[in-house]
Amino acid sequence: MTSRLINWFKFSSPASFYPLARKISLVSTVIAVVLIAVGLYMSFFVAPTDYKQGEGYRIIFVHVPASWMSMFIYVVMAGWAALGLVFNTRLSAMMAQALAPTGAMFAFLSLWTGSFWGKPMWGTWWVWDARITSELILLFLYLGYMALRAAIDDPRRGDRASAILLLVGVVNVPIIYYSVKWWNTLHQGSTIRMNQESTMEETMLLTMLIMTLGFWAYSIAVAMARVRTVILERERSTTWVRELGGGEI
Amino acid sequence: MKARHKRFGIVIVGLAALGLATFLVLNALKGNLSYFFSPSEVVEGKAPANHLFRLGGLVEAGSLSREEGDLTVRFVVTDLAQRVTVAYSGILPDLFAEGQGVIAQGRMGPDKVFVAEEVLAKHDETYMPPEVAAALKESGKMGERHPGSKPL
C-alpha cells in the first residue's frame, strides 16, 4: 500500500478507515483549539471597533463562520449521499450521518447569534425575510434527515432514504447564499464576495477567516470522532470489530 | 452500462430536474419573496393600498422632525429616486439616524403619509473602524456604495 499513490478505495472500507479517522481527528482537534483560541482573542481584543455598530458587531466572528459551516457541511453531506447512492459504499452514509449533528449545531448557532445581533442593531429578534427563513429551513432539513434515518430500522434502507432527502434539500443552499442578492431583505448583503473586494477592514477580515478555519477543523475533528463510534456500532457483528475487543477503542 | 453508471445518471438527472423546478417556482414567486417595497414601487402603486406592508429605504438627511408635545416622529424615506413621508410614534432602534437604512411596517394614510407601526434599522455590509470612516467622510468617498450592492 505504501509504495504507490493513495488508493482511495482502500479507505472506503470502514475497517481501514477506522484507524485513519482517529489520526485525522487528533490532528484536527489540535488545529481547532489553536485557531479558535487565537480567533476568539482577536475577535475580542485585536479587531477594531466598528464605526456604526460599535462593539456589538463582534458577534459576526461567530455568526458568519457558523453560517458558512452550516451551508458547507450540508453540501458535503449531500456529496457523501450521492457517492453512497452511486457506489453503494457503506462508509459514505456513515460520514453523512456523522456530520449531521455538527451541521445542525452550526445552523442553530447561526440563527441564535443572528437573533442576538438583530435585537440591538435592527430592533427585532426575528423577521421572516428570505435569508433568515431559508436558514431556518436548513436547520429543519438537518433535523429531518436525522429523524428520517433514525426512524428506519434497517440501516441500509435508512441510508438510501435519507440520502435522497439530503440531495433534495441541497437546492436550499444556493437559495440561502443568494437570498440577499435576489430579494429585498432586512439582512444586509454579503461582505465577502467571490468576484470582488470585500467591504470589511483587513484585521476584521483576517479574524473572521481564522475563526472559519477553526470551525472547519472543529467540524472535521468532531465528525471523525463521531464516525468512529458510528462504524463500531454498525459493524459490531464483523470479525474485525470483535477482534478489537476493547483494546484500541 | 454498469449499474453504478445508471445510478449516477439518475442522481444527476434528478438534481437537474429539481434545480429547474426550484428555478421556475422562485421565478413565479419573484416579487412576493421581497421583504419590503421601495419608495419608487410605492409611488408607482405597486404596494398594497389597504393593508399592511413594509417600506424600505434611506432616511433622508434633514427630514427628521418631532411634533410638539407628542411622541410622533416624521421622516422621509427615499431610494434617491422617490420619497415617502413616514409618521411613527414609538421607540426607534439605536442605529436609526438620518442617512441610514430603515424598514418601516405600516399602511398608507389618505394624506399619502405612511403610518408606521414598527420601524427597524437596516445596516449595510460594510465594517470598518471609526478612524477609517472619518477619513473616508473627509475625502468624500463615504457615500459611495459598493458597486456590487443593491440600491436600498
Task: Give the DSSP per-residue string, A148-194.
Answer: HHHH-SSHHHHHHHHHHHHHHHTTHHHHHHHHHHHS--SS---SS-S
Higher pLDDT, B137 or A178: A178
Kindly give the pairing relationship between strand B83-89 and strand B72-78: antiparallel
Taking the C-alpha atoms of residue A69 and residue A218, their distance in angstroms, rounded to an integer, is: 10
Beta bridge partners of A53: none
pTM, whole model, 2 decimals?
0.87
Residue with cell 484507524: A19
Residue with the three cell numbers 463500531? A232
Interface check for A119 against chain B (CB to CB < 8 A): the answer is no
* CA count, 13 A, side-chain hemisphere, A135: 31
CA B113 from centre of chain:
19
User: Could you tell me the CA-to-CA distances from B142 to A192, B131, B137, B145 in Å, in that order?
Assistant: 19, 12, 5, 8
Q: What is the pLDDT along chain A (249 residues), one digit of tens a residue?
A: 455 566 777 778 888 899 999 999 999 999 999 999 999 999 999 998 888 888 889 999 999 999 999 999 999 999 999 999 998 888 999 999 999 999 999 999 999 999 999 998 888 899 888 899 999 999 999 999 999 999 999 999 999 999 999 999 999 999 999 988 888 888 888 888 777 777 888 899 999 999 999 999 999 999 999 999 999 999 888 888 888 865 554
- Compare all CA atoms of chain A with the CA of B147 and give the residue at the minimum distance: A196
Element (H, E) at B86: strand B83-89
Q: Answer whether A121 sits within 8 Å of B94, measured CB to CB.
A: yes
- Chain A residues closer than 8 Å to B14 by CB: 167
User: Of A1-5, A9-13, B81-85, B98-102, which gets the smallest average pLDDT?
Assistant: A1-5
**Residue A210 and residue B46: Cα distance in Å, rounded?**
45
Rg (CA), chain A: 20
Contact A210, A7 (CB under 8 A): no
Please indicate whether, in this complex, the C-beta atoms of A185 and B149 are within 8 angstroms of each other: no
User: Over chain A, what is the mean pLDDT?
Assistant: 90
Per-chain mean pLDDT for chain B: 83
Please indicate whether, in this complex, the C-beta atoms of B121 and A121 are within 8 angstroms of each other. yes
A185 part of contact set with chain B, CB < 8 Å: yes
- CB of A200 within 8 Å of any CB in chain B? yes
> Which is the CATH superfamily of the domain at B37-124?
Nucleic acid-binding proteins (2.40.50.140)
Interface test with B, best of A186, A187, A200, A206 (most B CBs within 10 A): A186
Integer Cα distance of B71 and B91 in angstroms = 9
